[in-house]
Structure 1
Amino acid sequence: MHKQPSSDPIDVFRSRFPYAYYLIIAVAVSFFIGSAVALFLILLDLTTVTRQAHPWLLYGLPVAGVFIWWVYHRFGKNSAAGNNLIIDEIHAPGGGVPLRMTPLVLFTTLITHLFGGSAGREGTAVQMGGSIAYRIGGWMKLDAGDMRIILMMGIAGGFGAVFGTPVAGTVFALEVLAIGKLGDLKALVPCAVAAYLSDRVCQFWGAGHTHYAIGFAGGFDGKLLGWVLLAGVAFGCASRLFSWSMHRVKDLSGKLFVATPWLMPFVGGCIIIGLVFIAGTQDYLGLGVTASHADGVSIVSAFREGGAEPFSWLWKLAFTVVTLGMGFKGGEVTPLFFIGATLGNAIALYAGVPVDLMAGLGFIAVFAGATNTPVACTLMGVELFGPENVVYFGAACLMAYYFSGHAGIYSSQRVIIPKFGWVKKDPRHP
């Protein structure tokens, strides 16, 4: 027997005009995601300025960590899984992505930054995007296939809006799901629309983005390409160290504080305070996009000679791993930008190559290695820095991707095409 066609007007419209159907969904998703990300960015700027103006807030970090633990323990349920929850729901629908994730992650990320935790903003934006998109899909009573696509729209919209890179956000939503394969290309156009419109809505509300620039435009040079490839290896190893350290700290702290989990962020906050005293600076707290003083180390300063110390990247790595690995909230990506840019600065001074170029390469390549998204990060380089050095962007990102291994920051990523012959395909993938 043949299945009777549905008489539901929405099903009829979807079958006849699929792209128009997804466009309508993307417009609705984009307005709410762009607005939420704009609110987050504006509040995050105020929070950062407040912390930098009142350094003593750092001493409240341990208590803030306990408060964040209590909030998630009391209201979070499965929201604590963060980005991995969204990726899992795309791979295997059924668990759901609660709307409570949006206010929870927004509020607790701001608390983390206010008291000096070293964290980013991408994770927060993507989680807000995913939870908002999932709720809209629920209201529209979408089936499992459309839910997957709307969740990918949420990832694209959140990423594109928070960094002002809609093209990279589009590809990131498809590429981050699995290692070695782009996601469902059916979602490409909806994700592109969601990423672009979310970014435009975010800008409409007055949320700005930091502008970075690479002045080098010397064209192709074989010797320089050689240094870029070697630097790509270093960027990949830094990505691997970050991911490995993050997973080890989470596992170890979870075992040590299994009976008193609230103590984990308290101890983590105390360790951050201790690291500040050892490093002798607060430059490695917070986002790290700009410093609170003229001689401070930041992402922006890494693009000029003398703008970073040789081991600034390692300090930021340690601060971030302790912060996020011991229960505080926020993203990993902006700290990865910091790690990459300052490592690139150090490599450039050793190799005698342009500092701004190498800082920019580290900026995108360490991120590419840690998230296993070399295509998205290459496109991010073009969107942020211009197309003149795209060959170097691609070379650095691909090398970092290869040498970062398979254990990225998202444990829910599936290995579809292994990077090495001795690594098996993920058994969760059919």
Structure 2
Amino acid sequence: MNTDASRTGATSYLLLMAKWLFWGSLIGAAAGCTTAFLITMNDIVTDTRKASAWLHYLLPLGGAVIGFLYRYFGSGSRAGNDLILEYIHEGAKKVPLRMGPIVFVGTFITHLLGGSTGREGAAIQMAGSLAEAVNRIFRVNKEDRRILLIAAISGGFGSAFGTPITGVVFGMEVVALGRMRYDAVVPCFIASLLGHLVTTLWGIKHEHHVIKQLPEMTALTFGKVFLLAALFSLASVLYSQIRHGVYHYCSKHLPNLIIRGFLGGLVIVGLTLLIGSRDYLGRGLPMIDQAFEGTVPPLAFFSKIIFTAITMGTGFRGGEVIPLFFIGSTLGNVLAPLFALPVSFAAALGLVGVFCGAAQAPLACFVLSLELFGGKGMFYFFIVCIVSHLLSGYHSIYPTQQVYEPKSRMFNLKPGETISSVEKGRRK
């Protein structure tokens, strides 16, 4: 009987692994193709906008069109990434299949006309709708549906940034603070790796930066890095608060999505004319490059916070990771001479540190630093990730993240509370 039971157990295990490999491959291949297409189109429309400076004046019209799409065709898709996290937690809703096409169109319009967004949000939402298609076709059970949506997050993130290992960890970690979903490791690994390989086969080249010089490893240097990490965490909190503040204000006073998008675009155009620069439109990749190479305007990081918070808070589509990279790298650049640290080193710390505080995923962000910068300065990045994560408290760009375990016993939180509910309780 023991032999038969062992054989049955081994067979079940092999079937389970085969199932995860098959489903993870489907999600990864699909995510890679859609993300590659998204990145290609983003590059094309960015070049088009740069060649036609007048296009950004149409941003209010673009906001109205996006609002129209989500009001009449995408009501169940408005929450975006938060809807995917919400389904993973509760399993009460199905991810709309139309989420993928609608977010692609919305992201296309946003980037063409100069909205300050990135791409990972669109990549994750497209992968999420594809995972939902797999769920429906194969009639996947409730628990496995959740795992495949986690794999979709990994596939979307890994393919969007050319960081497959980070994609695996990010999907498993970002769902709930204090808990890693190790039961999803196989499909997450397959989806992220295959998604990355497929985008590579499409000829996609991801942006990577080089740390030209590392400071001497001394107690003073570690002290400086600790202080920098604290400042990066404050920047992440500032962005999260302004971003959610804009969203809540618009939800209360501008419930009509069409009017909301139009006014949001109008504000962005007005701010662009006010400061006399288009550097804060779109993804802002040239400014990130400049942050690693030379000097940037002292308030570039704050300008990007405002532009991105208004763009995302008023209903435009895309993602927030690249803008957070912009905010962090430019802040690091500005602080580098004050702390007597190499510019590229401080910019790299800021890029990772601000994103870590905003995403509440310290392990994924540490792995991100290894993949982006080849392991240079890993001890410093580890400090930045830990400090930024701890000091950022319960502020996040993903309000539906659950708090599985509080960061400290000092926080009296109920199991399963979301970032959103914690913030509401703080405001009372």
TM over 0.5: yes
Q: Report deviation, 1:429.
A: 6.1
CA distance in 1, matches of 2:216, 2:29: 40
1:375 aligns to what? 363
Q: Which residue does the alignment assign to 1:123?
A: 121
Opposite residue 241 of structure 1, the aligned amino acid is L
User: Which digits, 9 at most, give the CA deviation of each residue in 1:76-101, with x for residues without a partner?
Assistant: 02111100111111111130111111
> Is the 1:378–1:397 Cα contact (8 Å) retained in structure 2?
yes
- Paired position in structure 1 for 2:412: 424
Correspondence for 2:137 among 133, 139, 150 = 139
Partner-residue secondary structure (3-state), 2:337: helix
**SS of alignment partner, residue 300 of structure 1:** helix
2:218 matched to which residue of 1? 221
How many Å separate the matches in 2 of 1:305 and 1:51?
25
**Separation in structure 2 between the aligned mates of residue 265 and residue 145 of structure 1, nearest angstrom:** 37
Amino acid aligned to 1:280: G
**Equivalent in the alignment of 2:259:** 263
Provide TM-score, normalisation by structure 1. 0.92
Which one of the candidate residues 321, 324, 338 is aligned to 1:333?
A: 321
Q: Which residue of 2 aligns with 1:26?
A: 24
How far did residue 220 of structure 1 move? 2.5
Aligned to 2:242: 245
- The one-letter code sitting in structure 2 at the alignment partner of 1:162 is A
Counterpart among 380, 394, 400 of residue 388 in structure 2: 400
Q: State the one-letter code of the partner of 2:56.
A: L
Of 300, 322, 332 in structure 1, the residue corresponding to residue 310 of structure 2 is 322
User: C-alpha separation between the residues in 1 aligned to 2:128 and 2:211?
Assistant: 33
Aligned partner (choices 36, 40, 43) of residue 42 of structure 1: 40
TM superposition shift of 1:400: 1.1
Letter matched to residue 330 of structure 2: T
Contact 1:85-1:97 at 8 Å conserved across structures: yes
Whole-angstrom CA distance in 1 between matches of 2:49 and 2:10: 54
Could you tell me how far apart the structure 1 residues matched to 2:277 and 2:11 are?
59
Q: Separation in 2 of the partners of 1:61 and 1:78? A: 24
Q: Structure 1 CA distance, aligned partners of 2:331 and 2:224?
A: 14
Partner residue in 2 for 1:287: 283
1:105 to 85, 103, 106: 103
**Paired positions, count:** 411
Secondary structure (helix, strand or coil) at the match of 2:282 reads: coil
- In structure 2, the partner of 1:8 is none
* Structure 2 residue 397 is matched with structure 1 residue 409: yes
C-alpha separation between the residues in 2 aligned to 1:251 and 1:12? 52
Q: TM-score, normalised by structure 2?
A: 0.93
- The structural deviation recorded for 1:144 is 1.0
Alpha-carbon contact 1:158-1:198 (below 8 Å) kept: yes
Task: Map residues 153-164 of structure 1 onto 2, 5 A cutoff.
Answer: 153-164=151-162
- Retained in 1: the 8 A contact 2:257–2:315? no
Deviation string 1:210-234 (CA, Å, 9 cap, x unpaired) is 1211122456232211111100000
Q: Deviations over 1:322-371 (max 9, x none)?
A: 11111111111110000000000011021110110110011111011001
Report the alpha carbon displacement of residue 419 of structure 1 after superposing the two structures with TM.
2.5
Deviation at 1:399, TM superposition (A): 1.1
2:195 match: 198
| Match 2:333 to one of 345, 348, 363 | 345
Contact 2:167 2:192 in 1 (8 A): yes
Who is 1:149 aligned against?
Answer: 147
User: Which residue in 2 is equivalent to 1:169?
Assistant: 167
Corresponding residue for 1:366? 354
Where 2:73 maps in the other structure, the secondary structure is: helix
* Residues 14/162 of structure 1: CA separation in 2 closer, same or farther (3 Å cut): farther
Corresponding position: 1:61 with 2:59 = yes
Q: Distance in 2 between matches of 1:339 and 1:216?
A: 21
Call closer, same or farther: CA 1:152–1:14 in 2, change over 3 Å.
farther
CA distance in 2, matches of 1:92, 1:14: 27
Q: What residue identity is the alignment partner of 1:288?
A: G
Which residue identity does 2:320 align to in structure 1?
E
Give the AA of the match of 1:377.
C
Identify unmatched segments of 5+ residues in structure 1. Answer: 6-10, 291-297
Counterpart-to-counterpart distance in 2, 1:135 and 1:415: 29
Question: 1:172 and 1:393 mapped to 2: Cα distance?
Answer: 17
Which stretches of structure 1, 4 residues or more, deviate above 3 A after TM superposition?
11-16, 426-430
Distance in 1, matches of 2:275 and 2:67, equals 27
The AA in structure 1 aligned to 2:235 is: A
Residue 108 to residue 13, structure 1, CA distance change in 2 (3 Å): farther
Write out per-residue CA displacement over residues 117-165 of structure 1, whole angstroms, 9 at most, x where no aligned residue.
1011111111111111121121111111111111111000000000000
What do the CA deviations read for 1:225-277 (whole angstroms, capped 9, x no partner)?
A: 1111100000000000111111111111221213x442111111111111112
Alignment partner of 1:274 is 2:270:
yes
Deviations along 1:166-185, one digit per CA (max 9) or x if unpaired, are 11111000111111222x21
- Mapped to 1, the partners of 2:341 and 2:14 lie a distance apart of 56
CA distance in 1, matches of 2:374, 2:402: 32
Higher mean alpha-carbon deviation, 214-223 vs 332-341, is at 214-223
For structure 2, which runs of at least 5 residues remain unmatched after alignment?
419-428
Of all paired residues, the percent bearing the same amino acid is 39
